[in-house]
Structure 1
Amino acid sequence: MTSASIEAPSRLTSTTPRGAAPKDPSPCRVREYNTAAEIKARAERRRLLTAAKLVLQRGGWWGFKVDSVLREARLSTRSFYRHFQKKNDLLVALLESELGAAAEVLERKTAAGDTPSARVRAYIHATLDMGCRTELAKKSFLFASHWRELLPEYSQTIDNCAVQMQAPLVAALTDGMQRGEFTCEDPVADAAAIFFMVGHIAADQAALGGTTSRAEVEHMVMPLITRGIGLH
């Protein structure tokens, strides 16, 4: 749920092309330093992502062109191909960045609850905020309508983003199940069901400009979730 973040938004691995900064062959080992080339490559990639976001905000999905991104970033075509093979690789990297930021917000908001039920409610409210609150919906709108177009080619990346965004809810449901507070038997499956139901609604709200009031949206989802898992 993007903020575009929103729907079904781990780090991108499948779109790293030839010429990108090399990965540490031993990911469990802490790197003590970064080479100048690695630092430069990361900075260049950040410039491309920042420029891509600005271009997407100005021109929308259909007006998004690599040439416009390169002009905004003041980088060359060679710079682009050091990190991405095609436009959609850049778009999915931006989607992943936005969903990663959304996942951090969900984790922070969910952790504020002092009981499993309070954490589940906080998670649902934070997810709905991404589609219903104007300042957050603007970010969500970037991908709310079109992320499905990336799904066939980047299903694993988008699935990983969804898992990351569901993690705080899985933890809250697991805790509630272990305490006997919830009636759910499969926290992972239940978290996925709640995430996709609420995330789809939030994405539609962002894409359509909030045609349904927040109170109506909550009235649609909360009774069902309450009955389904025994939410207090």
Structure 2
Amino acid sequence: MDAAYRCLATSNGDGVSVTDILREAGLSTRAFYRHFDSKDNLLLAMFRRDSDRVHAELESAALAAGSPTEALRAWIEGYLRLTSQPRRRQRVLVLSSAELMRAAGYADERTRSMIRLQDGIAEILRRGLDDGSFPWAAPEPDARAIRAALTEAFAEQMSRSTTVPAAVAADQVINFAFRALGARRPGETGQ
């Protein structure tokens, strides 16, 4: 997987063959097919591995937070931080390349990742509804709306179609979410 990542990172969109990957890895064709049925299976495994890592980080940050409001803030900031860290940004670019998007099964993997993102947000919203920090929350539909705003901000950061830094974009999504959920901001009293 690491050899495939290196090949894709330096391919300039020209495409990468299994032969290229094997040469980079120093492996034989037989070794490749012991682990993967096809190049598409390798590419999807790479996407799944990185997606699972990101979700584990977000879930860990949310669990470590002292409150649902802190958890939602950590989730949103953590997700958008991927766009501003050079090494991670490069991985996102490789794993959203045309080569990966052409892989059979990519759409299903991407959908799985988006559902997991949305489910994590919904869990935070349920906790906030239960403890009163998100009194207006409707967890599932609100998680869908927050995920949509978050992934749009993420896409803008990745395409560099915005001059807004990732931290500012995170604050914008957080402020939108908190207003929609009826959350109090630090120092606020009453409703």
Q: TM-score range by the shorter chain?
A: 0.7 to 0.9
Q: 1: distance between equivalents of 2:162 and 2:47? A: 22
The corresponding residue for 1:78 is 30
Q: 2: distance between equivalents of 1:71 and 1:148? A: 20
**Residue in structure 1 matching 2:78, options 121, 126, 131:** 126
Q: Given that residues 151 and 158 in structure 1 are in contact (C-alpha distance below 8 angstroms), is that contact kept between their aligned partners in structure 2?
A: no
Please, what TM-score do these two structures have when normalized by structure 2?
Answer: 0.79
Task: Write 1 or 2 for the structure with the bigger share of helix.
Answer: 2
1:111 aligns with 2:111: no
The corresponding residue for 1:58 is 10
Tell me the C-alpha RMSD between the 2 structures.
Answer: 2.8
The corresponding residue for 2:164 is 212
What's the offset of the Cα at 1:146?
4.1
SS at match of 1:52: helix
Q: 1: distance between equivalents of 2:34 and 2:126? A: 42
Q: 2: distance between equivalents of 1:127 and 1:200? A: 12
Q: Given that residues 184 and 229 in structure 1 are in contact (C-alpha distance below 8 angstroms), is that contact kept between their aligned partners in structure 2?
A: yes
1:173 aligns with 2:125: yes
Please, what TM-score do these two structures have when normalized by structure 1?
Answer: 0.67
Residue identity opposite 1:184 in structure 2 = A
What's the offset of the Cα at 1:73?
1.6
Residue identity opposite 1:158 in structure 2 = R
**Count of residue correspondences:** 183
What's the offset of the Cα at 1:83?
3.3
Q: 2: distance between equivalents of 1:188 and 1:80? A: 41
**Residue in structure 2 matching 1:143, options 79, 95, 109:** 95
Q: Given that residues 157 and 166 in structure 2 are in contact (C-alpha distance below 8 angstroms), is that contact kept between their aligned partners in structure 1?
A: no
Distance 1:111 1:209, change over 3 A: farther
Residue identity opposite 2:150 in structure 1 = V
Q: 2: distance between equivalents of 1:148 and 1:73? A: 19
SS at match of 1:223: helix
1:221 aligns with 2:173: yes
Which string of whole-angstrom CA distances, capped at 9 and with x for unpartnered residues, describes residues 42-94 of structure 1? xxxxxxx1211121222244332221111112222233333333322221111
**Residue in structure 2 matching 1:155, options 107, 113, 118:** 107
Alignment of 1:4-83 (within 5 A): 49-83=1-35
1:192 aligns with 2:144: yes
Q: Given that residues 118 and 147 in structure 2 are in contact (C-alpha distance below 8 angstroms), is that contact kept between their aligned partners in structure 1?
A: yes
Q: Given that residues 144 and 204 in structure 1 are in contact (C-alpha distance below 8 angstroms), is that contact kept between their aligned partners in structure 2?
A: no
Residue identity opposite 1:63 in structure 2 = G
Q: 2: distance between equivalents of 1:123 and 1:195? A: 11
Q: 2: distance between equivalents of 1:50 and 1:214? A: 27
The corresponding residue for 2:187 is none
* Structure 2: runs of 5 or more not aligned: 185-191
Q: Given that residues 62 and 72 in structure 2 are in contact (C-alpha distance below 8 angstroms), is that contact kept between their aligned partners in structure 1?
A: yes
Which string of whole-angstrom CA distances, capped at 9 and with x for unpartnered residues, describes residues 125-166 of structure 1? 101101123343222222245488358734333322233334
The corresponding residue for 1:25 is none
Distance 1:148 1:64, change over 3 A: closer
Residue identity opposite 2:49 in structure 1 = S
Q: Given that residues 113 and 122 in structure 1 are in contact (C-alpha distance below 8 angstroms), is that contact kept between their aligned partners in structure 2?
A: yes
Residue identity opposite 1:101 in structure 2 = R
Q: Relative CO higher for 1 or 2, CA cutoff 8 Å, sep ≥ 6?
A: 1
Distance 1:181 1:219, change over 3 A: closer
